[in-house]
């Protein structure tokens, strides 16, 4: 019996000891947690104070807000419209607006994808202020100082009215932006149309009386000038925010846009006009037709005839000059064209064919190569593979791929009978490259640096076919005579 009592009391003693040990450990854990909470609270308070103080100082340092009204420098919504910017010659600050009717200050309105404009307004504010993650690519233009994946500016809500659909944000560059544009503040205004997806946009720099000197710009492709140097930073601010939102540009039929107006000359048309001696049309033809009398036009018919005569002479000179480009294929060019067609065979068979062929027919290493290329260069064309690309690649496999072997043989043998085939290939391939390059240029998922890099990868498939077609034109020999060495 005593042994049984001893056995029964042993667990009780151990339980009491364990209870005392648990109490001590619990007390230590409570003290540690309290110390950790105190430390985190102090650190968080210090961080928030520093951050908010820094941001407040950044916003406090910007120039005063412009007045609300209907002037070119004013802000606000007036009768369902935003203000237009001053014309390029009179503007003192960077500005773009969807209400402008000139190419320098016009920006396309946006299209959101929300059913209600109130939801779109909230999405705009939350994305601009950093409360929600960005949907598209963001960061400064062409590889600036700010990290990719975030906006290069801080935003503060200045006005928000869901009744009228009006939002105004103050955009100030982040503190880590050390560029020349770091001190520039912009008022970004947005007017959401009721019952529609249209968003009118206006981004204007707040005028600074002290001035800030020459502004940094970016090179951009242009329909009218081929390449332009744009220093309108307001356009870049608007485009960066649009890309971050993942919204689309709405096309607008404008008189100054060469895509819609035949009065505006494209860059290559200007070259031919200059060769013909024609003066560039820097005036409104409709206005001239209404303002000028018939007698004035009649009195200048003699001058017009003289100009046409001079233009004919200059056009003949231009044709003679272009004829120098139509000459036989040299030995160096033949080697370049051979290398082009030889390298095109595996590229078409292993990479391009993945757009059309079933996945089971594509080798694993080819899939890995394409995946690496898409990750490395952010190739939006091959990653999205739009339906029209399928038709182009089908033509490439059916028509171009067999031609590669014929072209390699013809170039190697200097076959004079390949002239027509080379012209047809060059014209066909250059035509198919036009929508590809346009798709890359207009993609909202690419930064400026990625866009130029990707277009540079595809550009040889436009340049070389045009080069081949140009050399194949003409009635003379297709290939230059072989260079004879000494002793032959």
pLDDT tens by residue, 268-279: 777 766 655 666
pTM of the model: 0.49
- Is the pLDDT at 347 greater than 90, yes or no? yes
Q: What is the DSSP string of 330-363?
A: PHHHHHHHHHHHHHHHHIIIIIGGGGTS-GGGS-
Angle at 279 between CA 274 and CA 287, to 5 degrees: 145
Non-local CB neighbours of 79 within 8 Å, separated by 6+ positions: none
The verdict on residue 137 lying in a domain is: yes
In which band, very low, low, confident or very high, does the pLDDT at 149 lie, cut at 50, 70 and 90?
low
Q: Residue 374 carries which DSSP code?
A: H
Distance from C-alpha of 184 to C-alpha of 171, rounded to nearest angstrom: 9
Question: What average pLDDT does the segment 182-195 reach?
Answer: 86
Q: Does residue 256 sit within a domain?
A: no
**Do 277 and 301 belong to one domain?**
yes
- Which three-class secondary structure state does DSSP give residue 172? strand
For position 140, what pLDDT does the model report? Answer: 46
What are the pLDDT digits (tens) for 74-115?
Answer: 899 988 899 998 875 555 678 999 998 888 899 999 999 898
* Residue 336 forms part of a structural domain: yes
Report the pLDDT value the prediction gives residue 144, as an integer from 0 to 100.
38
Rg (C-alpha) for the chain, rounded Å, is 33
Residue 63 belongs to a domain: no
DSSP state of 75: B
Among 186-200, 215-229, 390-404, which stretch is predicted with the lowest mean pLDDT?
215-229
How much is the average pLDDT of 246-268? Answer: 79
In a domain, 39, yes or no: no
Is 42 contained in some domain? no
Mean pLDDT of 296-308: 47
Is residue 279 domain-shared with residue 405, that is, in the same domain?
no
Total domain count, the chain: 3
- Whether residue 340 is found in the same domain as residue 441: yes
Statement to judge: residues 361 and 459 lie in one domain: yes
Tell whether 415 is covered by a domain: yes
Looking at the fold, whether 146 and 279 belong to one and the same domain comes out as no
Identify whether residues 233 and 104 lie together within a single domain. Answer: yes
Q: What's the average model confidence in pLDDT over 313-334?
A: 62
Give SS3 for 471.
helix
Q: Could you tell me if 316 and 410 lie in one domain?
A: no
Average pLDDT, integer, range 160-176: 88
461 lies in the same domain as 404: yes
Rounded Cα distance, 169 and 123, in Å: 13
Question: Are 175 and 105 part of one and the same domain?
Answer: yes
Same domain? For 169 and 228 the reply is yes
> Which residue segment(s) compose the domain that 429 sits in?
331-472
Structure tokens at 197: 């997806």
213 lies in some domain:
yes
Are residues 308 and 339 located together in one domain of the fold? Answer: no
């Amino acid at each position: 019996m005593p042994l049984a009592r001893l056995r029964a009391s042993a667990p009780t003693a151990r339980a009491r000891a364990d209870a005392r040990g648990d109490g001590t450990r619990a007390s230590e854990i409570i003290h540690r947690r309290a110390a950790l909470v105190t430390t985190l609270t102090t650190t968080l308070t210090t961080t928030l104070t520093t951050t908010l103080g820094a941001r407040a100082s950044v916003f406090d340092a910007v120039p005063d807000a412009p007045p609300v009204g209907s002037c070119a420098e004013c802000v606000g919504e007036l009768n369902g419209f935003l203000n237009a910017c001053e014309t390029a010659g009179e503007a003192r600050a960077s500005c773009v607006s969807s209400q402008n009717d000139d190419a320098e200050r016009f920006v396309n309105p946006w299209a959101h994808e929300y059913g209600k404009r109130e939801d779109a307004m909230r999405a705009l504010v939350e994305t601009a202020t950093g409360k929600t993650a960005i949907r598209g690519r963001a960061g400064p233009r062409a590889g600036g100082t700010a990290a990719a994946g975030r906006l290069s500016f801080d935003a503060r809500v200045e006005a928000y009215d869901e009744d009228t659909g009006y939002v105004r944000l103050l955009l100030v560059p982040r503190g880590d932006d050390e560029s020349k544009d770091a001190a520039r503040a912009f008022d970004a205004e947005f007017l959401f149309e009721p019952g529609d997806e249209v968003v009118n946009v206006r981004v204007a720099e707040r005028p600074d009386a002290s001035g800030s000197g020459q502004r940094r710009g970016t090179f951009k492709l242009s329909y009218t000038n081929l390449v332009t140097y744009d220093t309108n930073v307001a356009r870049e601010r608007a485009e960066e925010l649009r890309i971050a939102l993942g919204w689309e540009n709405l096309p607008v039929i404008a008189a100054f846009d060469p895509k819609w107006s035949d009065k505006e000359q494209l860059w290559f048309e200007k070259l031919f006009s200059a060769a013909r001696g024609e003066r560039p049309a820097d005036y409104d033809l409709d206005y001239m037709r209404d303002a000028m009398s018939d007698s004035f036009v009649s009195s200048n018919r003699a001058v017009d005839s003289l100009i046409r005569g001079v233009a004919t002479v200059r056009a003949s000179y231009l044709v003679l000059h272009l004829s120098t480009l139509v000459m036989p294929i040299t030995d160096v060019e033949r080697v370049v064209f051979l290398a082009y067609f030889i390298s095109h065979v595996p590229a078409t068979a292993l990479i391009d064919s993945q757009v059309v062929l079933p996945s089971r027919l594509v080798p694993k290493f080819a899939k890995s190569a394409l995946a690496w290329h898409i990750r490395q260069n952010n190739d939006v064309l091959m990653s999205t593979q739009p339906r029209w690309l399928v038709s182009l690649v089908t033509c490439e496999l059916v028509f171009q791929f067999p031609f590669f072997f014929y072209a390699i043989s013809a170039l190697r043998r200097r076959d004079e009978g390949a002239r027509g085939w080379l012209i047809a290939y060059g014209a066909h391939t250059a035509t198919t490259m036009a929508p590809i390059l346009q798709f890359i240029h207009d993609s909202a998922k690419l930064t400026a640096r990625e866009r130029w890099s990707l277009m540079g990868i595809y550009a040889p498939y436009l340049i070389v076919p045009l080069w081949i077609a140009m050399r194949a034109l003409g009635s003379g020999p297709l290939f230059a005579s072989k260079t004879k060495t000494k002793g032959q």
